[in-house]
Amino acid sequence: MSKDIVLNAIRRGLRRGPVPPDQAVGLRARLAAHPRHPIPARSRLDHAGQVALFVANVEKEFGTVARVADASEVPGAVVDYLAAQNLPTEAAIAPHPELRAIDWSARPLLRLREGRAEATDQVAIQHGFAAIAETGTLMLPSAPERPTTLNLLAEAAIVVLAADRVVGAYEEAWDLLRAEIGGMPRNVMLVTGPSRSADIEQTLELGAHGPRRLHVVLVGA
């Protein structure tokens, strides 16, 4: 469905006509310029500080982080996490080139299946596009090499993220997406910690709408 069809349907529902030409020009200019909102001072750190802030915020939001020096240590970090959580060593994994380049055979107990996650999967391994230090949020755009179901269906979501993809503020993550992907993908998920809700009697329930566990394997300094 085209953008014009969607916007026209909204206008009809609101009983509003087309946007006046002078307003339309301003809206187009704003969309083209990507103006920045005020950026919190807490994210204005050097890169090492931003990475430390990201880790602290992930942990504050009930997620966990394992730091490894390089990609060769990722399989071991994944196995260690699964053992600590008493989770199976079977997992659905994104068919991303950076994940394919890892020598997973070093850990023969891991049984990985590339592609979309299924409702029966307990573990999913996703490739992290970027992360935002100010809130401990992962940016996960959809793509054939990053199936969105990996972010939603499994009991435990593991995200492999390069430390140099951690930025301070949301605006910088969107800049990366525009520069590297161009137009907007079908879906961009912003994930802060495992899924949770306190809708019922203000009692926090993890895994309400997605993974009960979120674990980030952070690669590099």
Whether 156 and 123 have beta carbons less than 8 Å apart is answered as yes
Question: Which residue shows structure tokens 């990366």?
Answer: 176
Q: Which helix (H) or strand (E) holds 80?
A: helix 74-84
Q: State the 10-residue block means of pLDDT for the chain, 221 residues long.
A: 78 76 80 81 93 97 96 98 97 98 95 96 98 98 97 96 97 95 92 71 57 96 86
The pLDDT, as a whole number, for residue 199 is 53
**Domain range list for the chain:** 1-33, 43-219
- What does the alpha-carbon distance between residue 194 and residue 63 come to, in Å, rounded to a whole number? 6
Q: 169 vs 79, 158, 162, 212, CA distance in Å?
A: 32, 22, 17, 26
The pLDDT, as a whole number, for residue 196 is 56
Tell me which residue of 107, 110, 125 sits closest to 215, measured CA to CA.
Answer: 125
- What does the alpha-carbon distance between residue 39 and residue 42 come to, in Å, rounded to a whole number? 9
Whether 65 and 53 have beta carbons less than 8 Å apart is answered as no
Structure tokens at 31: 């969309």
Whether 128 and 162 have beta carbons less than 8 Å apart is answered as yes
The pLDDT, as a whole number, for residue 91 is 98
The pLDDT, as a whole number, for residue 206 is 56
Q: Which helix (H) or strand (E) holds 23?
A: helix 21-33
- What does the alpha-carbon distance between residue 191 and residue 195 come to, in Å, rounded to a whole number? 8
CATH number for the 43-219 domain, one of 3.40.50.300, 3.40.50.620, 3.40.50.1100, 3.40.50.10420? 3.40.50.10420
pLDDT tens-digit series, residues 178-191 = 999 988 899 999 99
- What does the alpha-carbon distance between residue 179 and residue 173 come to, in Å, rounded to a whole number? 10
Whether 179 and 145 have beta carbons less than 8 Å apart is answered as no
The pLDDT, as a whole number, for residue 1 is 57
pTM, entire model:
0.85
The pLDDT, as a whole number, for residue 203 is 54
Tell me which residue of 86, 89, 106, 104 sits closest to 160, measured CA to CA.
Answer: 104
Tell me which residue of 74, 149, 78 sits closest to 119, measured CA to CA.
Answer: 149
